[in-house]
Amino acid sequence: MPSPPATLGDLRSSGWRDRSVKDELRENFVERIRRGEDLFPGIVGYEDTVLPALERAILAGHDVILLGERGQAKTRLIRSLVTLLDETVPVVHGCEVNDSPLRPICAACRALVAEHGDDTPVVWLPREKRYAEKLATPDTSVADLIGDVDPIRVAEGRYLSKSRSCIKRRKRRLQVFRSSFRRSSPK
């Protein structure tokens, strides 16, 4: 097997396509349907209700909310979606936010690509590292959930991680927010 492209130039000539996470999930899901593979191995009892809805959501590129009691396999279902991501994706070497080499957004990577062009080094990130869970409690703020970027620091070209950002854990990933609501006791 040829080794994966290690530079931006090699990546371009390999024909690799830059896709959104939702496109990646959908296209890989369709592939799996074509091959007739089990879509959710180990998940039993949801064939007629939960799974069809989840499948439609993936195909339509929707965000998904799973509501249910403890122990109803919500986490297991969501984690199984990791297998629908590409096995590895290319990122700019050394990037803190997993920038796509074809579409870098951070100042450091844009400078790197401007300077090195097709020689910009590329590394490959496995899908297991592209799954992130965040526990959301009633006192969780919007900034906690989506990240908080200091635009002045970013404009100055400083690293995103130094601006209290949690975006680096969100980008190009399957992001799961977990929450639990206590049911009010019956009167």
CB hemisphere CA count around 47 (13 angstroms): 5
Q: How far apart are CA 155 and CA 172, in angstroms?
A: 22
Applying CB under 5 A, the span of 3-11, 23-31, 62-70, 101-109 interacting with Zn ion comes to: 101-109
Distances (CA, A) of 33 to 26, 76, 146: 11, 20, 33
Applying CB under 5 A, the span of 2-10, 99-107, 122-130, 179-187 interacting with Zn ion comes to: 99-107
Packed helices 21-34 and 50-60: angle between N→C axes, nearest 10 degrees? 120
Q: How far apart are CA 75 and CA 67, in angstroms?
A: 11
Tell the smallest beta-carbon distance from residue 109 to Zn ion (Å). Answer: 3
Q: Is 109 in the site for Zn ion (CB under 5 A)?
A: yes
Whether the CB-CB separation of 167 and 132 falls below 8 Å is answered with: no
Q: Which one of residues 8, 21, 95, 122 is an interface residue with Zn ion (CB under 5 A)?
A: 95
Q: Which one of residues 106, 122, 174, 176 is an interface residue with Zn ion (CB under 5 A)?
A: 106
Nearer to Zn ion (CB atom), residue 19 or residue 93: 93
Nearer to Zn ion (CB atom), residue 106 or residue 176: 106
Q: Give the interface with Zn ion as residue ranges (CB under 5 A).
A: 95, 99, 106, 109
